[in-house]
Amino acid sequence: MSTKPKLYYFDGRGKMESIRWLLAAAGVEFEEEFLETRDQYEKLLQGGSLLFQQVPMVEIDGMRMVQTRAILNYIAAKYNLYGKDLKERALIDMYVGGTDDLMGFIIMFPFLSAEDKEKQRALIIQKATSRYFPVYEKVLKDHGQDFLVGNNFSWADVHLLEAILMVEEKKSDVLSGFPQLQAFKARISSIPAIKKFLEPGSQRKPVPDDKYVETVRRVLRMYYDVKAN
Amino acid sequence: MSGKPRLTYLNGRGRMESIRWLLAAAGVEFEEVYLETKEQYEKLIKDGFLLYQQVPLVEIDGMKMVQTRAIMSYIAGKYNLYGKDLKERALIDMYVEGISDLMQMILMFPFSPPDAKEKNLESIKERATNRYFPVFEKVLKQHGQDFLVGNKFSWADVQLMEAILAVEEKVPDVLSGFPQLQVFKTKMSNMPTIKKFLQPGSPRKPPPDAHYVETVLKVFKK
């Protein structure tokens, strides 16, 4: 077994994308196994690899980790992206909690009906510009530092950049009222590990399309309608 | 201002209940402020207390903490309920996150439309008995220890105990196929801080009723 972490998920963003971002930001190479058929999924289930019968699953350091947040916490701590003490960690957790809630509105987006998609797009923009982005704009303005927490690159910065780019995919000028975030975006994007991840050919996944939705539905037998928030 | 943590939420379980459990299990006394009106909530926002305009809010160690998970991670870390190293923490996080998915179903239940309640109750029972409880039954059986992780009381044990009691309120015989969990429940109930929390007069909140649902809608509805 190689020592690289191995990610088990669909060939698409979903809940695994934040994990790909964090590993990439930490400069950690990883392998991926993509779920394409129901059989593959059932094999994983029968083999006992999925603690709660769900993916994401990441094989790392001899563990078969599940639960996105648990995996992210582990990677952040292992690669020193989780602050220097309990209080910095608390700030990072609060900030990541916010960007996670924001990205939660986007993750269900591809599964919505065309009509619900329009409403959801508006909701995403509204939440981003009135609830979430103002918080990070203020944090950066107040301390004037390059990074969100403790004057040091952390998981919170990676997660915020990921969220910004995802919202921009829905409205390209969404940062127009947020000068600090514009500068932040440029700064973090130019960090070598992140720059590399943003280039074509990296393991970053594209915006989910119908094929992705079809694959998820097929593998998980998730044929019910997903309702918007 | 006292040195005690101060919790701001509705006078009911919701997302704050797991925090109450954890503080109580850690033997930490706390104060509570109850949101009863929309005006109170809007004032909190206006005064800059709520980072994302949401509760739970816990004022602790000079911080105005929001985001349930962030708050619980901080408490667990501070009071040594988070394992002894990264790997134990990873296990605790996995267990807590899994249980949290089950608790989410229970949290949403009072707000389901009347015609969906029976189906949702069935889902809770199905998930508890087929997805979540078997995992912890197996963990306890395999290592034979009293606690889920590292032979030591942790956040994971508190969260599992809370979940067991919450599901039992809906499905009284839910532990009938889980002998390890029955023993676990008894052991946890006898731990002094938890025993105290389970007694009448503690900060533990009762199951959500119609009045609670009404208050939530009143305070938060636009």
For residue A2, the model assigns a pLDDT of 59
Peptide bond preceding A206 in cis form (omega within 30 of 0): no
Contacts of residue A68 in chain B, CB cutoff 8 Å? 97
pLDDT in tens, A149-204: 999 999 999 999 999 999 999 999 999 999 999 999 999 999 999 999 999 999 99
ipTM of this complex: 0.96
**Rounded Cα–Cα distance for residues A169 and A195 (Å):** 18
A57-60 and A6-9 strand pairing: antiparallel
Residue among B222, B221, B219, B162 nearest B43 (CA): B219
Chain A within 8 Å of B65 (Cβ-Cβ)? yes
> Which residue among B67, B68, B94 places its CB closest to the CB of A67?
B94
Chain A within 8 Å of B84 (Cβ-Cβ)? no
Q: What is the CATH number of domain A6-79+198-220?
A: 3.40.30.10
Are B101 and B48 in contact, with CB atoms under 8 Å apart?
no
Q: Which residue has the tokens 């050919």?
A: A201
Q: What is the CATH number of domain B86-191?
A: 1.20.1050.10
Q: Which residue of B has its CA nearest to A127?
A: B52
The domain locations on chain A are 6-79+198-220, 86-191
Chain A interface disruption, residue of B45, B78, B91, B97, most A CBs within 10 A: B97
pLDDT in tens, B103-119: 999 999 999 999 999 99
Query: What is chain A's Cα-based Rg?
Result: 18
A6-79+198-220 and A86-191 in the same fold = no
pLDDT in tens, A14-24: 999 999 999 99
Model confidence pTM above 0.90: yes
> Which residue among A70, A90, A96 places its CB closest to the CB of B65?
A90
Distances (CA, A) of A67 to A39, A123, B25, B147: 22, 26, 24, 21
pLDDT in tens, B30-70: 999 999 999 999 999 999 999 999 999 999 999 999 999 99
Domain range B6-79+198-211, CATH architecture:
3-Layer(aba) Sandwich (3.40)
Contact B52 A135 (CB under 8 A): yes
Q: What is the CATH number of domain A86-191?
A: 1.20.1050.10
The domain locations on chain B are 6-79+198-211, 86-191
Contact A97 B61 (CB under 8 A): no
**Rounded Cα–Cα distance for residues B35 and B84 (Å):** 37
Q: Which residue of B has its CA nearest to A135?
A: B51
DSSP B11: S
